[in-house]
């Protein structure tokens, strides 16, 4: 829709709801059997509705490699400079050495994912995850379905970010409040490390809404049912 283009969002889809929770280091590895469970859940839903569901699991929306370097540079310049201004220590030569050593030390220290995560603003994590969701909506061809019935269930796991994006043919059939409940419930499961269960339950819950409002009128499977994993 036009009002979303200026904000980096797909004109073919609407942003329904998202939920972001605390980020942590734990990732949930999914084996082939677990991925198949997601695909089978989608197949069951699509037997009852014209909607075309796609699921995407991103381990991280961004590696944020530039942020630790940025903060290391800022602190390496600021701390010795502040000491020199307040205490007159170190001298110019000592200041340059302190800058260099502190920068190297901070770069090594901030290689820890936990420490690096603390430096990533929540708004940036949300923006990167939300941007990736819209990119995936386009890349998975959800805007090209017959009747504009594409539905994307997206998770950026490191950011604990969940979104459900739908195309125009679905948007006016589904209640936004109901979608918000689904997203909030799924986000909580992701935070608890139950990503697989969250996917299956969210797919099934979406299916209950979709089969009521967008019932199946003819047999078709336009998009792959497999879980797309972005490492």
Token pair, residue 6, equals 């200026």
* Residue owning tokens 């980020």: 23
Domain identity same for 137 and 114: no
Domain identity same for 183 and 96: no
Contact predicate 128/18, CB 8 Å: no
Token pair, residue 164, equals 């459900």
Beta bridge partner(s), residue 228? 56
- pTM assigned to the model: 0.78
pLDDT of residue 4: 28
Domain identity same for 109 and 145: no
Domain identity same for 138 and 200: yes
Domain identity same for 217 and 160: yes
How much is the CA Rg of the chain, to the nearest whole Å?
Answer: 22
Residue 8: which CATH number?
Answer: 3.10.310.50
Domain identity same for 39 and 110: no
pLDDT of residue 25: 45
- From the list 20, 29, 15, 3, the residue with the least C-alpha distance to 61 is 20
The pLDDT tens digits of the residues spanning 127-149 come to: 999 999 999 999 999 999 999 99
**Residues spanned by the domain of 103:** 66-118
* 132: number of Cβ within 10 Å: 22
pLDDT of residue 8: 32
Instruction: Name, in order, each residue with C-beta under 8 angstroms of 174's C-beta and a sequence gap of 6 or more.
Output: 16, 166, 209, 210, 213
Token pair, residue 177, equals 């409040």
Domain identity same for 27 and 83: no
The pLDDT tens digits of the residues spanning 2-54 come to: 222 222 334 344 444 444 443 444 456 788 999 999 999 999 999 999 999 99
Domain identity same for 82 and 196: no
CA distance linking residue 53 with residue 45, whole number of Å? 9
Helix then strand count (H, E) for the chain reads 9, 5
Domain identity same for 57 and 82: no
In this prediction, residues 94-108 reach a mean pLDDT of 83
Q: How far is CA 108 from CA 75, 95, 115, 125, 126, in A?
A: 14, 20, 11, 23, 26
pLDDT of residue 81: 76
* Residue owning tokens 């739908």: 166
pLDDT of residue 179: 83
Nearest 10 degrees: CA dihedral of 49, 54, 57, 63?
Answer: -140
pLDDT of residue 85: 77
* Residue owning tokens 């799924």: 186
Number of domains, the chain: 2
Domain identity same for 34 and 134: yes
Residue 95, pLDDT above cutoff 90 = no
């Amino acid at each position: 829709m036009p009002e979303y283009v200026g904000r980096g969002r797909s004109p073919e889809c609407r942003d329904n709801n998202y939920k972001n929770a605390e980020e942590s280091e734990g990732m949930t590895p999914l084996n082939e059997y677990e991925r198949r469970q997601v695909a089978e859940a989608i197949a069951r839903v699509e037997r009852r509705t014209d909607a075309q569901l796609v699921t995407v699991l991103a381990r991280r929306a961004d590696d944020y490699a530039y942020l630790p370097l940025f903060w290391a540079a800022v602190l390496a310049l600021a701390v010795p400079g502040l000491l020199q201004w307040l205490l007159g220590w170190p001298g110019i030569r000592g200041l340059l050495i302190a800058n260099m050593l502190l920068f190297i030390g901070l770069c090594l220290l901030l290689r820890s994912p936990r420490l690096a995560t603390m430096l990533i603003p929540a708004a940036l994590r949300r923006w990167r995850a939300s941007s990736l969701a819209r990119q995936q909506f386009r890349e998975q061809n959800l805007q090209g379905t017959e009747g504009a019935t594409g539905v994307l269930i997206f998770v950026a796991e490191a950011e604990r970010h969940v979104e459900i994006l739908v195309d125009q043919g679905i948007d006016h059939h589904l209640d936004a409040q109901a979608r918000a409940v689904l997203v909030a419930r799924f986000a909580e499961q992701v935070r608890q490390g139950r990503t697989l269960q969250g996917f299956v339950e969210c797919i099934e819950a979406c299916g209950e809404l979709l089969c009521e409002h967008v019932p199946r009128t003819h047999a078709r499977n336009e998009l792959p049912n497999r879980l797309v994993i972005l490492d």
